[in-house]
Amino acid sequence: MSEPLVGNCLVAQSGGPTSVINASLAGVINEALNHECIEEIYGGLNGVLGILQEQLIDLAAESQQTVRALRHTPGAALGTCRYKLKKATDFDRVLEVFAAHNIRYFFYAGGNDSQDTADKISKLAKQRGYDLRVIGIPKTIDNDLVSTDHCPGYGSVIKYISTTVKEIACDNAAMGQHDLVQIVEVMGRNAGWIAAGASLAKRNEEPNAAPHLIYLPEVAFSPDKFIGDIQQVLKRESYCMVVVGEGLIDEDGNFVATSGNAADAFGHKQLGGAGDYLRGLVEENLGIKARSVKLGMAQRAAAHCASQTDNNEAYLAGQAAVKAAIAGETDKMVTLLRGDSDQYVCETGLAPLAEIANGVKKLPSNWINEDGVSMNASFYKYALPLIQGEVEVPFDQGVPVFAKLRMDRVDSQLEPFEV
């Protein structure tokens, strides 16, 4: 084992939050406290944006209660950003901030853009001879990172969606005579991982239960087939529940929600999304009533319905990042590895940041049934273990209680920086 690298650590969060990204933060904090070579535990506010502006807080000053509460708090407690480091001066500034605060360990939780940023920071530090260990922590409801079996955040979003679909199905079954078609729009700009997850609302051995039809970005959308699919379900069932990913694309490869005929019922062309578009198709072509739900940010913030498995793994990934860095690893992201046994087990591994940064994991096409609108047993085998267990969120006065960081600012050492 290499000589321990003594210095401070910095953790930051990036991209869209998930309901478990703060569990990873708690994992980093708790694990960092175990290692004497880590002197201070700093948090960077708003991802790289705050690092550029030297906005650091002292995480060791937070109470143990607060750190424990982070494990069930949605959003990103440190704040996040979608800022992309581009200019050489940006990267220089990051290293300048790191040097000013003796940051020797950098942990960055995010998706592939964020891991790309971490990779570039890591490589620049090496080139400059600045001793720095950089470990990425996977985070995305989109589940599209390569080299990891799945991503923290995914299990919780599909548990919430499956629960919601199952509940709405009860409502629709009761109202079958009135509301014939229900459309639930879920996130997923480039891949159908999230929409596919809605299929967990039914067991694979109940093919006729809701959701009846799932439309994925992976399957080119045909309005004619869609109308036919609905008619077929309505021959068999008293209602039809449809789940659609927001990134649905037509046969020409364009997003249906931004193509010409996606105008909503009120004529505002840019309004509405894939769900409203499908609702319009049903009402215009079949003359029957359809309803739509757009879960939007509610789905990625739904801590009250998070998966305990996902939550545990997010925490584990945070801990593993610190352990790996202490062990001398750098320029890697923590991955989740699934055991081969029938009983689900998950361990952490590591993969090069560059590999994560440049890849996108697609939903395997052979997990989609031939009908194009449902998932097969391979998907169930993959996804079902990820939604097991319910996170217990404390409620006070009827609503959940979430962590609020006191945010003790670390004194700035440098001149302000214009971003």
Q: Say whether the peptide bond before residue 211 is cis (omega within 30 degrees of 0).
A: yes
CA distances from 10 to 102, 303, 411, 412 (A): 10, 25, 15, 15
How many residues are listed for the chain in this entry?
A: 419
Q: Where are the alpha helices (DSSP H) in 249-307?
A: 274-286, 298-301
Shortest distance, position 77 Cβ to its own copies, whole Å: 7
Residue (151 or 169) nearer to its own copies, CB: 169
Residue (176 or 359) nearer to its own copies, CB: 176
Residue (112 or 164) nearer to its own copies, CB: 164
Specify the 3-state DSSP secondary structure of 65. helix
Shortest distance, position 309 Cβ to its own copies, whole Å: 8
**Active-site choice (142, 149, 229, 310):** 142
Closest Cα to residue 385, out of 194, 197, 193? 197
Whether 142 is catalytic is yes
Q: Where are the alpha helices (DSSP H) in 9-153?
A: 21-32, 47-52, 64-70, 88-100, 112-128
Shortest distance, position 179 Cβ to its own copies, whole Å: 8
Residue (179 or 355) nearer to its own copies, CB: 179
Are 355 and 158 in contact by the 8 Å Cβ rule? The answer is: no
Closest Cα to residue 279, out of 236, 235, 223, 233? 223
370 CB-side CA count, 13 A = 0
Shortest distance, position 351 Cβ to its own copies, whole Å: 26
| C-alpha R_g of the chain | 23
Residue (122 or 160) nearer to its own copies, CB: 160
Closest Cα to residue 46, out of 14, 10, 89? 14
Residue 71's Cα: distance from chain center in Å?
15
Are 41 and 11 in contact by the 8 Å Cβ rule? The answer is: yes
Shortest distance, position 67 Cβ to its own copies, whole Å: 16
Shortest distance, position 302 Cβ to its own copies, whole Å: 6
First to last CA, the chain: 40
Closest Cα to residue 57, out of 77, 28, 83, 85? 77
Pairing label, strands 56-58, 133-138: unpaired
Shortest distance, position 295 Cβ to its own copies, whole Å: 7
Taking the C-alpha atoms of residue 9 and residue 7, their distance in angstroms, rounded to an integer, is 7
CA distances from 392 to 108, 298, 314, 396 (A): 27, 18, 16, 13
Residue (305 or 324) nearer to its own copies, CB: 305
Tokens of 84: 């992309």
Closest Cα to residue 191, out of 382, 365, 21? 365
Pairing label, strands 38-44, 56-58: antiparallel
Residue (13 or 115) nearer to its own copies, CB: 13
Active site residues: 142
